[in-house]
Copies of this chain bind each other. A is one copy, B any other.
Amino acid sequence: MIENSFYSQEFHGPYELYNLGDFTLEEGGMIPKCQLAYATFGELNEAKDNVIVVPTWFSGTNKAYEPYIGEGRALDPSKYFIVIINQIGNGLSSSPHNSLDPISMVNFPKVRISDDIRAQHQFLTEKYGIEEIALVVGGSMGAQQTYEWAVRYPDMVKRAAPIAGTAKNTTHDFIFTETLIDAITSDPGWKNGNYQSCTEVVEGLNRHAKIWAVMGLSTEFYKQEQWRLFGVNSVNEFVYDFLQPLFAAMDPNALLTMAWKWQRGDVSRMTNGNLDEALGRIKARTFVMPIDEDIFFPPRDCEYEQSLIPNSDLRIIKSICGHFALFGVEGSAYFDQIDKHLIELLSTPV
């Protein structure tokens, strides 16, 4: 266990913690007193049928979704009870840096998407008695979790909207994620996961950030100098003053925990590797929402999976920001698309 002030109410609050008790993991081992950090917006109605669940993406927390929420929007807290749940290992929920021995730091166990969804299910049922989810929506690893929710609990999930992510991670994505892992673990300061502070791993984190600069955006984003959307005045500022500091504050072992999990996201693990069968189980009305300029979750891959989901539509989001459109820096140009599709989805009777 080490200190990291980045993972705090100051930067990511308000959020609360729920203690799942000892949580056994699919890969073996368990997390004692496993905690999920979460943030809620709106009120659970009496029928308990106005729940929207939003799982977090790689390196993101509940805070990253705040721009998605607002009155009159799809994620409207005056109508819905919106629960943003931080994935295990993201730095706020139980994670390598905030866990005690014997699972502290590099000894933190391997966590799968399936573990997250079982944990989130336990949390929502135990704490709120929720038996029905109006919508699960999330971006990137949040999309992976959305798929896992819809396949694992098909009767509970009424609608699903995976944004910029896949149900079964692709080989290309697996290798891409390897390069992110390599960037961190190759830093001698990482010390096989036993650094005392993330500042010791800053060079590895900076390399990791620069790979994101290549894969997270689009060729056209740079050509049109759209880094201005991030409030910077040059491409160098974008890489060195925005992206690198963003990741440098994070815990390397948290990123590695999430990367390992991301690489192995695959709903077909529930059906002996049969993806058709897994996606065929989904009962939710589903909008599959890739981003047109996404380099590593390209629409082509998402379209294939959508074709295997019974009651689904493909809704492609247009954004020159590529995968990082998820940050929402384009404002209404992005959110108007998201809201339009999600409002339509939420208005569909199920």
| Cβ contacts under 8 Å, A218 to chain B | 172
A222:B171 contact, CB within 8 angstroms: yes
Q: Is the CB of A172 within 8 A of B207?
A: no
In the bound complex, do residue B300 and residue A219 qualify as a contact, i.e. CB atoms below 8 Å apart?
yes
| CB contact between A222 and one of B170, B235, B239, B295 (< 8 Å): that residue | B170
From A126-134, A209-217, A246-254, the one touching the partner chain is A209-217
Residue in B172, B178, B207 whose beta carbon sits within 8 Å of that of A182 in the complex: B207
Q: Using Cβ atoms and an 8 Å threshold, which residues of chain B touch A300? A: 219-220
Q: How many residues of chain A get a CB closer than 8 Å to chain B's CBs? A: 35
Closest to A178 in B: B210
Contacting residues, chain B, for A207 (C-beta < 8 A): 179, 182-183, 186
**Interface SS of A by simple majority:** helix
Taking CB atoms, residues of chain B closer than 8 Å to A210 are 175, 178-179, 182
Q: In the assembled complex, which residues on chain B have CB atoms less than 8 Å from the CB atom of A239?
A: 175
Please measure, in the bound complex, the distance between the C-alpha atom of A295 and the C-alpha atom of B176, giving whole angstroms: 13
- Of A186, A215, A218, A300, the most chain B CB neighbours within 10 A belong to A186
A313 CB–B CB distance under 8 Å: no
**Pairwise interchain contact A298-B213, C-beta atoms closer than 8 A:** no
Task: Point out which of A187, A204, A213 has the most chain B C-beta atoms below 10 A from its C-beta.
Answer: A213
Instruction: Evaluate contact between B170 and A219: CB separation under 8 angstroms.
Output: yes
Most chain B C-beta atoms within 10 Å of own C-beta, residue among A175, A235, A298: A175
Question: How many Å lie between the Cα of A223 and that of B296 in the bound state?
Answer: 12
Cα–Cα distance between A173 and B187 once the two chains are bound (Å): 24
Partner of A298, one of B173, B217, B219, B221: B219
CA distance A204 to B183 in the complex (A): 10
CB-CB under 8 A from A172, the residues of chain B are 214, 217-219, 221-223
Among A211, A220, A223, A300: residue with most chain B CB under 10 A: A211
Q: Would you call A148 an interface residue if the criterion is a C-beta within 8 Å of the partner chain's C-beta atoms?
A: no
A116 within 8 A of B: no
Flag if B301 contacts A175 (CB, 8 Å). Answer: no
Query: Is A115 in contact with chain B by the CB < 8 A criterion?
Result: no
A326 CB to closest chain B CB (Å) equals: 19
> How far is it, in angstroms, between the C-alpha of A296 and the C-alpha of B217 when the chains are bound?
12
With the chains together, A279 CA to B183 CA distance in Å? 38
Closest B residue, CB atoms, query A227:
B171
Q: Chain B residues near A211 (CB, 8 Å)?
A: 179, 211
Considering only residues 168-218 of chain A, those with a C-beta below 8 Å from chain B are 170-173, 175-176, 178-179, 182-183, 186-188, 203-204, 207, 210-211, 213-215, 217-218
Given contacts A170-B223, A186-B187, list 14 more A-B pairs with CB under 8 A.
A171-B222, A171-B223, A171-B235, A172-B217, A172-B222, A172-B223, A173-B219, A175-B213, A175-B239, A179-B207, A179-B210, A179-B214, A183-B207, A219-B296
